[in-house]
Structure 1
C-alpha cells in the first residue's frame, strides 16, 4: 500500500481548513494517509479547531507567519526524516475540497508512470471554470513579455502567445507541463529528497514555479492530469490582506526572473521586464484601491 503525506498550510481560515479536512477524511483511501497541518500564527482559533475536530492530523503551530514556503517547509523537513518517510507528498491549499477518490487517482498516476516526478489535477473554481494556474509554462522572458503586453489575453488560442496558461489546449487534455500550482501538487518523496525544500525567498506565490523548475532540472516530467478534479476557492485567503498579497505576487515575479533567467537575458530586456513588472504592480495596487473592500483581491 503506498503512503501519502498531505501538507496543508493555514493562516486565519479555520472555516476553510475545516471544510478541506472534512473532505479529505470523508471517504476511506487506498493509501496510508498522514495529514500535516501547519498553522502560520493564526489568531482565529484554527489550531484549537484542528486539535478538537481532527486529532488524527499532525499539527505544527508556527509562532510567526513566515509565508507559504516557510510554513510548508516546517512539515516537509519532518517528512524528510526517517521517522516520517512516505512514498508521496501532496501540497494542498486550505481553500480546496477533495472529492472521494481524487487523491487515490493522483497517487495511482505516479505509481503507473515512473518518469513523472509531479502530477496535478484539474482545479475548478467555484463557478466551474478552470483555475488557469493548474497547468503552466515557465515565464521565460519571451512568455513574460507576451503576458505583459496583453497578447496572451488577446490571443488565448495561440500556442505562441498563450503559452503561460496554455489556454489553447482543451482543459480535459492530459499534457506534460512546465509547472503545476502549489494549491494541489503531488510529488514523489524521492523528488523531495533530490530537489529539496521550497525556496523561502518567495513569501507567497512563485515558489511552486521555482520548485517545478528545479524538478525538471533533475530530469523529472511534470503532468497535468484532468481525469482527477479538485475544487479550489482561489484567493480566499489572500483577499483579507490584499495589498501585501499584491506586492508578494509581483515580488515573486522579480525573484523568479532574477534567479533563473536574468543572467542569460540581455540587459535591455531585463530592464524592460523589471519595468513591466513594476508598472503592472502599480496598476494592480491602484485598481485594487478603487474597488470596494469586499471586491479587493490579487489582480
Structure 2
C-alpha cells in the first residue's frame, strides 16, 4: 500500500510549492513500534529546518500492532511531503531500499521508531553534509535522556561515552539510527543488501560506501533513543542481534571480530567503561556495566550460535 500526501501549504498554493524539491528525506523503517513512534514523529514535526525542504518516507515492515494506524493518524498533521509504504515483513534491507529508491532529497536521515530528535537535528546534519562534500555517511551523537531507568542508562552509556571522546569510525562502522546518508553514495553502493533481513544491513552498506572512497564521519548533531527498560528486553534484543549478525559475518568477516563478541570481552569492555561512565552520568549503578555488557554479549553469542545451527 502506498500513499502520497501533499502538505497543507502546498495544497493551498500548488503553483509555487510544487516547484520546491526536498533537500532532505527522513526515512523511518519500522515494525511493531506503536508504543514509541508517536514521539519520533512529533520530534520530526518540531524540526526548525524549513519543512518545505523536507519529506518523510514511512515504511511499515509488516507490523502486527497499531504502528500503521498511528502513522496514518499523523500524516494530515504534517506540513511537509509524506509518503507511506506498507508491505508484509521483508526485513530491514528491503525496507530501507524502499526509502532509497523513492527519496527525492539529496540526503537521507534515518530515524528509528524509538528515536527522538532535538529540534535542530535535521538542520545540523544537513549543514554538516553541505560543508563536507566527500562525506558519504555522517553519524550523529547519542544523547542522555532524563528520567531513564537504570537498565536504559546502562544500555545507552557505552554509546554516549564513545561519542563523547569522538572515537574514530574507521574501525567501527555506524548503524543507520541517527545517521545521514548522501543519496548519491548509497545509490552508488547499490543500496542495502535485502538478504540481510534482521540486523547488519546498515554496517554492510557503510562498508561498501567507504570502499567506494566516501568518508564516514561523526557530526555534531545529537539524537536520543528509547532503550530497553528491563533485563528481559535486553536479553531478547541481543539474541536477535546475534541471530542477524550471523548473516553479516558470513558475507563479510572483516566487518567485526568474533574475538570481541563474547561474554569475557563484554565484561572487560564494561570495566573500561565504568570510570568515564561515572564521570559522565554520576550514578553509582554504572559499576554494573561489566555485568550488563557481559549479559549482552552472552545473548548475542546464543543468537549467533542459534542461527548457525538453524542454517
TM-score over 0.5 for the pair: yes
- Residue in 1 aligned with 2:181? 187
C-alpha offsets along residues 157-197 of structure 1, whole Å, 9 cap, x if unaligned? Answer: xxxxxxxxxx6x67153755342122121111110220122
Cα drift, residue 276 of structure 1: 6.7
Matched, 1:76 2:100: yes
Cα drift, residue 125 of structure 1: 4.8
In 2, are the aligned partners of 1:24 and 1:98 still within 8 Å (CA)? yes
- Residue in 1 aligned with 2:241? 249
- Residue in 2 aligned with 1:220? 214
Q: Structure 1 pair 131/187, CA: closer, same or farther in 2 (3 Å)?
A: farther
Deviates more, 1:208-217 or 1:227-236: 227-236
Within the candidate set 12, 16, 25, 2:45 is matched to 25
Within the candidate set 223, 231, 235, 2:224 is matched to 231
| RMSD between aligned residues | 3.6
Secondary structure, counterpart of 1:197 in structure 2: coil
Cα drift, residue 104 of structure 1: 0.8
TM-score, with structure 1 as normaliser: 0.67
Q: In the comparison of the two structures, how many residue pairs are matched?
A: 237
Counterparts of residues 238-277 of structure 1 (less than 5 Å)? 243=236, 245-261=237-253
Tell me which protein shows more helix as a share of its residues.
2
Matched, 1:88 2:70: no
- Residue in 1 aligned with 2:136? 117
Q: Which runs of 5+ in 2 are unaligned?
A: 1-20, 264-294, 304-311
Cα drift, residue 253 of structure 1: 3.0
Secondary structure, counterpart of 1:99 in structure 2: coil
Cα drift, residue 120 of structure 1: 1.0
C-alpha offsets along residues 88-135 of structure 1, whole Å, 9 cap, x if unaligned? Answer: 01121111100011111011111001111110111135446756458x
TM-score, with structure 2 as normaliser: 0.65
Counterparts of residues 44-193 of structure 1 (less than 5 Å)? 44-55=65-76, 56=78, 57-62=82-87, 64-79=88-103, 85-126=104-145, 127=148, 132=158, 171-173=164-166, 175-178=168-171, 179-193=173-187
Q: Structure 1 pair 105/2, CA: closer, same or farther in 2 (3 Å)?
A: farther
Q: Structure 1 pair 259/44, CA: closer, same or farther in 2 (3 Å)?
A: closer
- Distance of 1:235 and 1:285 partners within structure 2: 15
In 2, are the aligned partners of 1:133 and 1:181 still within 8 Å (CA)? no
- Distance of 1:223 and 1:175 partners within structure 2: 8
- Residue in 1 aligned with 2:59? 38
Q: Structure 1 pair 194/70, CA: closer, same or farther in 2 (3 Å)?
A: same
C-alpha offsets along residues 60-115 of structure 1, whole Å, 9 cap, x if unaligned? Answer: 111x1222222222222222xxxxx3210112111110001111101111100111
In 2, are the aligned partners of 1:9 and 1:37 still within 8 Å (CA)? yes
C-alpha offsets along residues 189-211 of structure 1, whole Å, 9 cap, x if unaligned? Answer: 11022012211222222111111
- Residue in 1 aligned with 2:205? 211
In 2, are the aligned partners of 1:133 and 1:180 still within 8 Å (CA)? no
Secondary structure, counterpart of 2:84 in structure 1: strand
- Distance of 1:132 and 1:177 partners within structure 2: 18
Within the candidate set 299, 304, 307, 1:284 is matched to 299
Q: Which runs of 5+ in 1 are unaligned?
A: 80-84, 135-166, 263-269, 289-299
